[in-house]
Amino acid sequence: MNADSPRLRLSILGIVVFSMFAALFARLWYLQVMSDEDYQVVAEANRVREVQVEAPRGRILDRNGKVLVDNRVSIQVTIDRTVLKELDEDERTEVLTKLAEALSQTSKPTTVAELEARIADQRYSPYVPVPVASDVPEDLKIWIDERQDELPSVSAERVAVRRYPYGPLAAHILGYTGKITKEELDAVDPDTSKPYTLNDAIGKAGIERMYETHLRGTPGRTLLEVDTEGNTIRVIPEGTTPPIPGDDIVLNIDIDLQATAEQALQASLVAAAQRPPRGGDRPNVGKVGSTVVLDPNTGGVLAMASVPGYDPTRFVDGISEAEWSELNDPANFYPLNNWALQGQYAPGSTFKPFTAWSALAAGLITPESTINDTGVFEVPGCRGESCRFRNDGSKAYGLVDLRRSLTVSSDVFYYNLGARFWIEQEAIGGPERFRQLLEEWGFGSKTGIDLPAEQPGRIPSPSWKSQFCEATQCIDPTWRTGDNVNMSIGQGDVLVTPLQLAVAYAAIGNGGRVMQPQLMAEVRDGVTGEVKLRNEPVVRHTIDIPQHWRDAIVDGLVGVTTREGGTARAAFAGFPAEYPVAAKTGTAQVANKAPTAVFGAIGPAPAPQYAISVLLEESGYGGSVAAPIARRLFDVLAGVAPKPEAPLGGNLANMDLEPPEAVEGVSD
């Protein structure tokens, strides 16, 4: 036993050693034979880097082919971090100091600390040069090119950036671009054929945002061979692909008509502020206005102006925090807001045609029904001054039917209808019936326009008031007859956007089709120009409006601009009789504020080609201030006046147009 022990121990040791070598051999065989392809791929990935090359964005054009957004070449100064990090500290400081001094001498004040901060910015890929200055002059590019031995890592390249030939014109429609954020990058579909990196531009507002998937080009790809420290050795031709430009977007917008609308709005707001207020009214202090021009048969948006505006070129090279704060300052009336679809206002008497149709649909009246307008309406069963609702100035119009009620803007006619909707609710379908009928015109919901941030407006009702008061703890949640009376003339808690108003007037004009307003007309291939997508008209809802109802409403609206007592007759004096404009003035009253002027119109009646809405906050009366703006637009649309050409650069002072002349003494 003792003699065998050494032999036994050696045998066991041999088995252990053999097993270890066998396991080692098996592992080596697996790594070198079985996993050869896998590790070859990993090794290849360790020495090859893929860099994405951003493609030019597509252009945006108006309906006549005028380029509204394009790309231009900018000289951009960049620093290659992989080269810079190879320099010792003194060399690095010298390079950055020389570059900062050179930039500062070209009206781009720059410090070494600012360059260091940009270089350290983690938003930029380590394999892509970091941009430190844009739009530098050609002389600086030459200076940098000639000093590559003194400025290793620094280069000046020509790159494509966004260009807005008309400056601030149509800015709320076009929008702007900016560097993609991490949140936006995380939201991108990982399988997209147009991937992003953190240094890429993305649409932030307007058409730039809504049609980002079309406007963005397909990025190119550059393969780089790098060493173990990540330094670039060479460009690998195989697998490198060029970028493909994005698609072009053609809009329904007419930029010349857009310029006319913006100029008229701006000039009218300035002129209104200079006029003394009418007796008892607050001073006109309005700084906000908007107007919309639609094709009632297609829903195409021909113009959409919002004041105040902004210049999208400010965003091209990145906007400073101070500039961003300025554009979002309430004291500046939020220039980034598109008030045509974000502003929610009481529509005043422009609401009356829709109250009239609602009363017809509910069976409360016929087109021939009349009342005696004494200038004052008293709610049945109610006593006291709060129960009396008056025409402007308590003016009496005598016997009025539907047509005349629209022409002279008889409040009493509509007060009566509003009260009847409440008093006779059991016979007409309940307390919510008035709201339900008004919502058929698109009020209280978004229009579906192809722009972000649209607001829905509001049509109040007993159920709405109850919920509102529950949420806000208001004093009286009870819906009363007076609420209906106020709603009948577009006051009280009614809110509409100027865009909704234009869509509703368009529906009167086209016979009851509530169209979806559309800005985009076509998408075209950015290289071949081939049409890839065409927007067809979209009918969101059809309203039952018998021909004799429509005839009565349109006739009453034509009287507004053509007949004695018409509240916009003075504004349309001298306009061609063969081009009848059917319209309605409105003046929204808000406590402790100057009146807001509102106007809705279609023309030429009875088969209109255009629908227009105009609204100016705290600027006076609809017939005095808003109607003249619509008149200027119709002058251009009807060919009465030549269409002014939109100025390049967007300086509306170059159009040399007088502000639309306000009409004095108009009551609505």
Report the 3 state secondary structure along 612-645.
EEEEECCCCCHHHHHHHHHHHHHHHHCCCCCCCC
Q: How far apart are CA 96 and CA 116, in angstroms?
A: 8
Measured distance between the N- and C-terminal CA atoms of the chain, rounded to whole angstroms: 125
Q: When comparing pLDDT for 347 and 123, which is higher? A: 347
Sequence letter at residue 619: S
Higher pLDDT, 145 or 294: 294
**In this structure, are residues 299 and 506 in contact, taking their beta carbons and an 8 Å threshold?**
yes
Q: Which amino acid is at 39?
A: Y
Which of these ranges, 9-13, 323-327, 391-395, 529-533, has the smallest mean pLDDT? 9-13
Domain boundaries, the chain: 50-127+140-147+156-251, 255-327+334-655
pLDDT at 336 over 60: yes
What is the helix (H) or strand (E) element at residue 157, kind and residue range? strand 154-163
Smallest CA-to-CA distance from 434 within 426, 444, 425 is with 425
Mean pLDDT for 405-421 is 97
Whether 529 shows a pLDDT value over 80: the answer reads yes
Q: What is the mean pLDDT of the chain?
A: 90
Residues 618-644, mean pLDDT to the nearest whole number:
96
Q: Among 186-190, 202-206, 628-632, which stretch is predicted with the lowest mean pLDDT?
A: 186-190
Whether residue 60 has pLDDT greater than 90: yes
pLDDT band at 127, cuts 50/70/90? low
Q: Which residue has the tokens 């971090």?
A: 81
Strands 154-163 and 177-179, by their bridges, are: unpaired
Instruction: Pick the more confident residue, 381 or 253.
Output: 253
**Comparing 181-195, 437-451, 628-642, which segment has the lowest mean pLDDT?**
181-195
CB burial of 83-95 (b: ≥16 within 10 Å; e: otherwise) equals: bbeeeeeeebeeb
Burial class (CB in 10 A: 0-12, 13-18, 19+), 22: exposed
Pick the CATH number of 255-327+334-655 from 3.40.710.10, 3.40.190.10, 3.40.50.720, 3.40.640.10: 3.40.710.10
* Separation CA 310–CA 330 (nearest Å): 14
Q: Work out the angle at residue 538's Cα, subtended by the Cα atoms of residues 534 and 543, and round it to the nearest 5 degrees.
A: 165
Buried-state track 407-443, b at ≥16 Cβ within 10 A, e below 16:
bbbbbbbbbbbbbbbbeebeebeebebbbbbbbbbbb
The partner residues of 96 in beta bridges, in order of sequence, read: none
How confident is the model over 332-338, as a mean pLDDT? 96
SS3 label, residue 512? coil
Burial of 327 (0-12, 13-18, 19+ CB in 10 A): middle
pLDDT class of 42 with cuts at 50, 70, 90: very low
As a whole number, mean pLDDT of residues 4-33 equals: 69
Sequential DSSP letters for 96-156? HHHHHHHHHTTT----HHHHHHHHT-TTS-TTSPEEEE-S--HHHHHHHHTTTTTSTTEEE
For residue 74, the model assigns a pLDDT of 86
Rounded CA separation 101/118 (Å): 16
More confident residue, 59 or 196: 59
Fold annotation for 50-127+140-147+156-251: Penicillin-binding protein 2a (Domain 2) (3.90.1310)
- Alpha-carbon span 289 to 272, nearest angstrom: 12
pLDDT value for 232: 66
pLDDT of residue 27: 66
Sign of CA dihedral 455, 460, 464, 470: positive
Angle at which helix 138-145 crosses helix 89-104, to 10 degrees, equals 160
pLDDT above 90: percentage of residues in the chain: 65
